[in-house]
């Protein structure tokens, strides 16, 4: 169920509920549930077009493994693929697929294949089974939890499969209240479903920067979307949402009543089963909430009573909403909820029916909507009431019409049965996708078929008052499932054996130790968790006291400030239960001492510096801070806490601490270190570790086991430093090892040569001006972004620099301070980093960026291509516009409007093939080598490293002391130096890259302590480093996952 605007509303109203996954304060997760289908679309963006199926399958499994490795479930892993769905969901799937088929690019991947029962999904299913069997046999992270897999031939949407499982396990007493649950899904409805389970420790895992759709352009101003580490995800902490609800609704003692009501009135905003209401826009969640508070809350009434909708309460809410909604939010220029407006709307949308019998039309529409409310509530809290019910109209009525009939309505549903996979395909596929049906059924989509009326080749989309097509109503005939079943039954006997298998409903599968068997829920038994999880983030953490208010503080979370009010937390005490000190010297005893920081997400941090409001520091700095610097430091910290976290520290911030926070240093999350980078925190939001010992307990780790026979080891010192081998025997501390062959010295020498010549690949900004004979003013817009007016997605710039990001492998920031990492960005007055507040041209004018020779050459070819038209002339003539953000099509091209549109389409197609679209924009603080150098290294590896070379029994054997070895689970003890070009060996003992794999560092993300590595060998589930590699040799690792040996 999509609830547009709810996720944004939630995290802006309750800013602390959202936290990046790489924060070590997060709880350990017992049960992980993965909503699978969205991963396919994500993987589609990174799959190689040369090998679409193989690459897509491998990238999908890489992403799955990443999720599992990041969360590391202790008890249950449940992966659910969308199976045959209720007809109510099929209506939406049908509309999407008709539009996708209409817009399909010849030769591209047919996304309608991502449907239940297709040959592609069966291939995916078999591939997943093999992958799961291998992982549960070889990977400790996959082997530990009970693993349940629900395939595309098991009925139900993915998320409903595992929520049915959760409800079932709770009813059996197999899940205690102490179990921590985590659901991966981008859908906002999961926020409701998680809280409605009544489980106190429930979390939602999402991509940090939002879910990725399949049709989003790769480059030309689009940011990197490769997900490779825990830093790429976030957790929504539903326990904190519950605590915020208690603050927001103090007069309601049972917060679960509020949660149920929130889920119910979200239907007004929109879901996947009914059209949007004409008088409620997707941005009005805040308005509905305010109406709910002013009406039902004031009367101490609830929408949900005994798990059903109280129709009288619903009527009150709808009637009050008609008074609240204003003309500025009306999509049609009139108030649809007024009597006159309702009549006008229904006359527009249902002219014949309204003319014939307006009262019957109103009642039928209202009853259908009320049916949908009852059906959706049951679907999300109890299970599917009917597999064949769906909303039988194109348009929803205005809400005042629904209110009129609330108390007359009683729902009646027939359960029926789930559709078979091929029945669902006939319900959702457009005629262009008939090839995805079994051969015997493809003719059912032809013009002579009895079902032909359901499969139009052309159709209209009614924008329905909206601006964009995806918001409109797709006007294709509503499917009658009984017609489909009757016609399909006539061809069932013609199905092949393989097709019969694809059309067969199957149950869930239990996978353990490399084998599969049917999952029997009646025999399921999950261990009971006796104690609550330790160190769970909470507003009650460390008993730090605060007050709160509801204020519009312009929370700045999604690249722009919110205009809606937030719950604002005010602090005037500290976590030491003492008066707040005002002088740095008064607390000098905490220097070089671990304390707990970042309330409520408490984690250890090592104090490096104390700064008080008067500019005093301890230890003393070589040069005293000026008053302006002190003021800016305190003001920026206060502003950041207000706009990012909804925390008010303005009245109590007398001391700021510079602290090195504890961070994960391995992918396995079993090792921690204090970060090299210090952060500023307010003293009053810290506390002694003695005040909250439970937050320290979870950072303990067990000592490693001794090396076992056949285990891979790495020699870390002496003659064989950096060599890898296999344990043959262990005698006390002496280990006999069979060494693997060494990497060719010639290969390493040639890689060194490429890296030595890397500096020759880069030129400064002035070189672009000279070689392309363009002015600085032209280049400043040309290299950033420039849109065509009335074409919001038409960026015609050759984008290389944008808001702190650079074109991967073709542009780099060369300004660097003395420390290894780039300087942290300061926060400007509007909550954005100061660097982003300045115009991009100011950054370019300082020549802080360099560009590769290949970039400059391709830029010149673009500027002088026939597709570019009058680009440079138009740019020059418009350059005095301030700011210049867009340009008119008639400035670029001569001719009629139609000719201009065609020329613009040709220009965009030309840009789509350029490096600006082929590669991503990445954070400018990432050091990385040029694309040319990376490609040269990859070519060398393909030439020198041959897979599966059998060296036989001639391999050398040596004896080494166990203290001179690393093996899976044993950390390296010494600090290491590193740089681009360092040779490394993978130390991670789980994941898709085997322990002992060798490679070369080609990029360093200093901000997140991540390393980009090109591996010597190709691995099926490696990545391509943001599509920069042709082969799967990419690996992104944390510091302690690597052993640097050269």
pLDDT tens track for 845-880: 554 899 999 999 999 999 988 888 888 888 777 766
For the chain, helix (H) and strand (E) counts, in that order, are: 32, 42
* Cα–Cα distance, 387 to 396 (Å, whole number): 21
| DSSP secondary structure letter of residue 561 | B
Together in a domain, 481 and 560:
no
Ranges 185-189, 941-945, 1034-1038: which has the least confidence:
185-189
Q: Where does a domain end: 510, 539, 569?
A: 510
Together in a domain, 936 and 920:
no
For 594-611, what is the mean pLDDT? 95
For 551-567, what is the mean pLDDT? 87
Inter-residue contact 274 to 305 (CB < 8 Å): no
* Cα–Cα distance, 337 to 752 (Å, whole number): 72
Say what the pTM is: 0.91
* Cα–Cα distance, 95 to 757 (Å, whole number): 54
In this predicted structure, the answer to whether residue 16 has a pLDDT above a threshold of 80 is yes
Where do the DSSP E strands lie in 703-816? 712-715, 724-731, 734-739, 762-764, 787-788, 791-795, 801-802, 805-807, 811-813
Q: What is the pLDDT of residues 416-440, one digit of tens each?
A: 999 999 999 999 999 999 999 999 9
* Residue 214 pLDDT: 38
* Residue 834 pLDDT: 40
Together in a domain, 900 and 983:
no
Q: Which residues contact 826 (CB under 8 A, 6 or more apart)?
A: 632, 636, 833, 834, 835
Check which CATH number belongs to the domain holding 1038 and give it: 2.30.30.750
Residue 200 forms part of a structural domain:
yes
CA–CA distances in Å: residue 199 to residues 11, 17, 242, 258, 424: 21, 17, 11, 15, 34
Ranges 258-272, 290-304, 740-754, 992-1006: which has the least confidence:
258-272
Q: What is the pLDDT of residues 870-926, one digit of tens each?
A: 888 887 777 666 556 778 888 888 999 899 889 988 998 888 889 998 899 999 999
Where do the DSSP E strands lie in 862-961? 886-887, 921-923, 926-928, 957-961
Would the CA dihedral through 722, 723, 725, 730 be positive or negative? Answer: negative
Under the banding of pLDDT at 50, 70 and 90, the label for residue 710 is: very high
Residue 138 forms part of a structural domain:
yes
Q: What is the pLDDT of residues 262-319, one digit of tens each?
A: 888 776 666 778 888 888 765 667 788 888 888 888 888 999 999 899 999 999 999 9
Bridge partner list, 914: none
Q: Is 12 exposed, middle or buried (0-12, 13-18, 19+ CB in 10 A)?
A: buried
Both tokens of 1025, joined, read 């480093």
In this predicted structure, the answer to whether residue 216 has a pLDDT above a threshold of 50 is no
Encode 161-173 in three state secondary structure: HHHHHHHHHHHHC
Under the banding of pLDDT at 50, 70 and 90, the label for residue 652 is: confident
Together in a domain, 891 and 1005:
no
Q: Is 22 exposed, middle or buried (0-12, 13-18, 19+ CB in 10 A)?
A: buried
Both tokens of 40, joined, read 């396919």
Together in a domain, 231 and 140:
yes
Packed helices 339-349 and 358-381: angle between N→C axes, nearest 10 degrees: 90
For 719-748, what is the mean pLDDT? 94
Residue 751 forms part of a structural domain:
no
* Residue 271 pLDDT: 75
Both tokens of 505, joined, read 């409903």
Residue 1029 forms part of a structural domain:
yes
Between residues 218 and 1011, the one the model is more confident about? 1011
CA–CA distances in Å: residue 340 to residues 336, 337, 343: 8, 8, 5
Residue 721 forms part of a structural domain:
no
The distance from CA 630 to its chain's CA centroid, rounded to whole angstroms, is: 37
Element (H, E) at 835: helix 834-837
Q: What is the pLDDT of residues 401-421, one digit of tens each?
A: 999 999 999 999 998 999 999
Together in a domain, 518 and 475:
no
Together in a domain, 48 and 156:
yes
In this predicted structure, the answer to whether residue 335 has a pLDDT above a threshold of 60 is no
For 106-118, what is the mean pLDDT? 90
Residue 14 forms part of a structural domain:
no
Together in a domain, 453 and 374:
no
Please, what's the b/e burial string for 869-888 (b: 16 or more CB within 10 A of its CB; e: otherwise)? bebbebbeebeeeeebebbe
Q: How many domains does the chain have?
A: 6
Residue 101 forms part of a structural domain:
no
* Residue 268 pLDDT: 66
* Cα–Cα distance, 476 to 462 (Å, whole number): 11
Both tokens of 859, joined, read 């830029």
| DSSP secondary structure letter of residue 613 | T
* Residue 77 pLDDT: 98
In the block, tokens 């009852």 appear at 374
In this predicted structure, the answer to whether residue 835 has a pLDDT above a threshold of 70 is no
Together in a domain, 614 and 653:
yes
- Give the up-direction half-sphere exposure of residue 158: CA atoms within 13 A in the CB hemisphere: 24
* Cα–Cα distance, 655 to 582 (Å, whole number): 6
Check which CATH number belongs to the domain holding 573 and give it: 2.170.260.40
The answer to whether the bond into 600 is cis (omega within 30° of 0) is: yes
Together in a domain, 292 and 192:
no
Both tokens of 1008, joined, read 């997140």
Under the banding of pLDDT at 50, 70 and 90, the label for residue 169 is: very high
Ranges 153-167, 241-255, 257-271, 356-370: which has the least confidence:
257-271
Q: Which residues contact 567 (CB under 8 A, 6 or more apart)?
A: 13, 14, 244, 247, 248, 548, 549, 550, 646
* Residue 620 pLDDT: 87
| Main-chain phi, psi angles of 708, to 5 degrees | -105, 160
- The domain of 263 spans 253-406
Residue 148 forms part of a structural domain:
yes
Which DSSP string do the residues of 855-878 spell out, in sequence order? HHHHHHHHHTSGGGTTHHHHHHHT
* Residue 919 pLDDT: 92
* Residue 833 pLDDT: 36
Q: Where does a domain end: 681, 698, 715?
A: 698
Ranges 279-288, 375-384, 788-797, 987-996: which has the least confidence:
279-288
* Residue 829 pLDDT: 32
**Residue ranges in 357-437 assigned as alpha helix (H):** 358-381, 399-404, 421-428
Both tokens of 919, joined, read 């590669």
Under the banding of pLDDT at 50, 70 and 90, the label for residue 491 is: very high
Under the banding of pLDDT at 50, 70 and 90, the label for residue 455 is: very high
Together in a domain, 558 and 669:
yes
In this predicted structure, the answer to whether residue 731 has a pLDDT above a threshold of 60 is yes
For 768-774, what is the mean pLDDT? 90
* Residue 836 pLDDT: 40
Under the banding of pLDDT at 50, 70 and 90, the label for residue 832 is: very low
Together in a domain, 499 and 623:
no
* Cα–Cα distance, 434 to 443 (Å, whole number): 8
Q: Where does a domain end: 379, 406, 433?
A: 406
Inter-residue contact 469 to 282 (CB < 8 Å): no
Q: What is the pLDDT of residues 965-982, one digit of tens each?
A: 999 988 877 778 999 999
How many residues are listed for the chain in this entry?
1046
Inter-residue contact 346 to 354 (CB < 8 Å): yes
In this predicted structure, the answer to whether residue 552 has a pLDDT above a threshold of 60 is yes
* Residue 328 pLDDT: 42
Both tokens of 766, joined, read 């002035």
Q: Which residues contact 418 (CB under 8 A, 6 or more apart)?
A: 83, 84, 86, 155, 156, 387, 505
Would the CA dihedral through 100, 57, 163, 19 be positive or negative? Answer: negative
Bridge partner list, 984: 999, 1044
* Cα–Cα distance, 521 to 543 (Å, whole number): 42
Between residues 331 and 21, the one the model is more confident about? 21
Under the banding of pLDDT at 50, 70 and 90, the label for residue 141 is: very high
Under the banding of pLDDT at 50, 70 and 90, the label for residue 226 is: confident
Under the banding of pLDDT at 50, 70 and 90, the label for residue 582 is: confident
Q: What is the pLDDT of residues 495-533, one digit of tens each?
A: 999 999 999 999 999 999 999 999 998 887 666 777 889
Between residues 441 and 193, the one the model is more confident about? 441
Both tokens of 390, joined, read 């769906």
Average pLDDT score, the chain: 87
For 350-360, what is the mean pLDDT? 95
Q: What is the pLDDT of residues 27-80, one digit of tens each?
A: 999 999 999 999 998 888 887 766 678 899 999 999 999 999 999 999 999 999
* Cα–Cα distance, 625 to 646 (Å, whole number): 28
In this predicted structure, the answer to whether residue 823 has a pLDDT above a threshold of 70 is no
Between residues 394 and 844, the one the model is more confident about? 394
Between residues 493 and 323, the one the model is more confident about? 493
């Amino acid at each position: 169920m999509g609830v547009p605007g709810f996720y944004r509303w939630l995290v802006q109203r309750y800013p602390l509920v959202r936290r990046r996954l790489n924060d070590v304060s997060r709880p350990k997760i017992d049960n992980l549930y993965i909503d699978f289908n969205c991963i396919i679309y994500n993987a589609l963006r990174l799959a190689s077009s040369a090998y679409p199926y193989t690459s897509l399958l491998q990238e999908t499994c890489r992403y799955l493994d990443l999720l599992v490795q990041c969360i590391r479930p202790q008890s249950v892993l449940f992966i659910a693929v969308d199976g045959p769905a209720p007809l109510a969901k099929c209506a939406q799937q049908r509309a999407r697929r008709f539009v996708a088929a209409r817009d399909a690019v010849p030769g591209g991947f047919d996304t309608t294949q991502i449907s239940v029962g297709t040959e592609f999904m069966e291939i995916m299913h078999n591939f997943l089974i093999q992958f799961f069997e291998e992982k549960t046999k070889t990977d400790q992270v996959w082997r530990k939890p009970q693993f349940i897999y629900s395939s595309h031939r098991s009925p139900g949407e993915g998320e409903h499969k595992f929520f049915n499982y959760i409800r079932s396990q709770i009813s059996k007493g197999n899940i205690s209240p102490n179990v921590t649950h985590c659901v991966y899904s981008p859908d906002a409805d999961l926020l409701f479903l998680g809280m409605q389970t009544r489980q106190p420790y429930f979390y939602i895992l999402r991509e940090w920067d939002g879910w990725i759709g399949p049709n989003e352009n790769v480059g030309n101003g689009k940011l990197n979307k490769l997900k490779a580490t825990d830093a790429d995800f976030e957790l929504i902490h539903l326990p904190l949402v519950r605590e915020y609800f208690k603050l927001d609704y103090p007069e309601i003692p049972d917060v679960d009543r509020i949660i149920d009501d929130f889920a119910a009135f979200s239907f007004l905003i929109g879901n996947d089963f009914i059209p949007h209401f004409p008088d409620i826009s997707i941005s009005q969640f805040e308005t509905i909430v305010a109406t709910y508070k002013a009406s039902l809350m004031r009367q101490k009434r609830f929408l949900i009573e005994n798990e059903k909708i109280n129709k009288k309460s619903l009527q009150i809410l709808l009637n009050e909403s008609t008074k609240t909604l204003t003309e500025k939010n009306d999509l049609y220029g009139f108030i649809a909820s007024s009597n006159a407006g309702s009549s006008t709307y229904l006359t527009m949308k249902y002219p014949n029916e309204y003319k014939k019998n307006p009262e019957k039309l109103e009642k039928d529409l209202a009853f259908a909507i009320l049916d949908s409310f009852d059906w959706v509530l049951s679907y999300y809290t109890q299970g599917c009431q009917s597999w064949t019910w769906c909303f039988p109209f194109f348009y929803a009525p205005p809400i005042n019409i629904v209110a009129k009939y609330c108390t007359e309505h009683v729902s009646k549903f027939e359960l029926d049965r789930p559709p078979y996979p091929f029945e669902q395909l006939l319900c959702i596929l457009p005629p262009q996708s008939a090839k995805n049906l079994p051969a015997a059924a493809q003719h059912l989509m032809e013009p002579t078929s009895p079902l032909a009326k359901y499969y139009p080749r052309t159709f209209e989309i009614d924008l329905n008052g909206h601006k964009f097509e995806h918001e409109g109503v797709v006007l294709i005939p509503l499917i009658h499932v009984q017609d489909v079943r009757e016609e399909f039954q006539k061809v069932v006997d013609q199905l092949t054996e393989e097709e019969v298998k694809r059309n067969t409903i199957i149950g869930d599968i239990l996978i353990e130790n490399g084998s599969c068997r049917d999952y029997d829920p009646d025999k399921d038994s999950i261990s009971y968790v006796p104690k609550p999880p330790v160190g769970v983030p909470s507003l009650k953490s460390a008993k730090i006291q605060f007050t709160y208010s509801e204020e519009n503080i312009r929370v700045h979370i999604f690249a722009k400030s919110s205009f809606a009010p937030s719950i604002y937390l005010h602090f005037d005490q500290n976590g030491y239960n003492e008066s707040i000190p005002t002088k740095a010297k008064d607390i000098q005893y905490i220097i070089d001492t671990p304390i707990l920081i970042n309330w409520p997400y408490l984690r250890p941090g090592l104090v490096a510096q104390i700064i008080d409001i008067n500019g005093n520091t301890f230890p003393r700095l070589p040069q005293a801070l000026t008053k302006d610097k002190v003021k800016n430091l305190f003001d920026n910290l206060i502003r950041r806490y207000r706009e990012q976290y909804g925390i008010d520290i303005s009245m109590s911030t007398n001391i700021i601490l510079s602290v090195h926070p504890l961070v994960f240093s391995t992918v396995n999350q079993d090792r921690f270190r204090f970060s090299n980078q210090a952060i500023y925190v307010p003293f009053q939001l810290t506390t002694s570790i003695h005040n909250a010992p439970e937050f320290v307990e979870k950072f303990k780790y067990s000592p490693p086991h001794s090396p076992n026979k056949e285990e891979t080891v790495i020699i870390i010192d002496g003659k064989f430093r950096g060599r890898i081998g296999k344990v043959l025997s262990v005698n006390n501390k002496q280990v006999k090892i069979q060494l693997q062959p060494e990497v060719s010295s010639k290969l390493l020498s040639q890689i060194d040569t490429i890296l030595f010549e890397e500096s020759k690949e880069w030129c400064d900004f002035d070189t672009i001006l000279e070689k392309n004979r363009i002015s600085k003013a032209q280049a400043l817009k040309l290299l950033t972004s420039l849109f065509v007016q009335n074409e919001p997605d038409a960026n015609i710039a050759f984008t290389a620099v944008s808001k702190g990001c650079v074109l991967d492998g073709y542009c780099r920031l060369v300004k660097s301070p003395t420390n290894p990492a780039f300087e942290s960005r300061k926060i400007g007055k509007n909550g954005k980093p100061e660097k982003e507040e300045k115009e991009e041209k100011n950054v370019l004018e300082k020549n802080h960026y360099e560009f590769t020779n290949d970039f400059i050459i391709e830029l010149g070819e673009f500027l002088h291509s026939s597709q570019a038209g009058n680009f440079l002339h138009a740019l020059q003539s418009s350059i005095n516009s301030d700011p210049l953000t867009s340009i008119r099509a008639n400035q670029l091209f001569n001719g009629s409007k139609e000719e201009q549109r065609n020329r613009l389409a040709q220009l965009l197609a030309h840009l789509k093939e350029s490096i600006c679209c082929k590669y991503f924009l990445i954070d400018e603080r990432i050091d990385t080598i040029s694309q040319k150098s990376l490609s040269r290294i990859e070519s060398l590896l393909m030439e020198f490293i041959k897979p599966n070379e059998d060296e036989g029994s001639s391999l050398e054997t040596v004896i080494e002391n166990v203290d001179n070895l690393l093996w899976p689970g044993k950390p390296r003890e010494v600090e290491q130096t590193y740089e681009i070009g360092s040779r490394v060996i993978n130390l991670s003992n789980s994941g898709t890259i085997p322990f002992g794999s060798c490679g070369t560092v080609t990029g360093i993300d200093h901000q997140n302590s991540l390393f980009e590595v090109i591996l010597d060998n190709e691995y099926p589930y490696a990545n391509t480093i943001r599509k920069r590699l042709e082969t799967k040799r990419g690996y992104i690792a944390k510091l302690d996952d690597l052993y640097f040996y050269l």
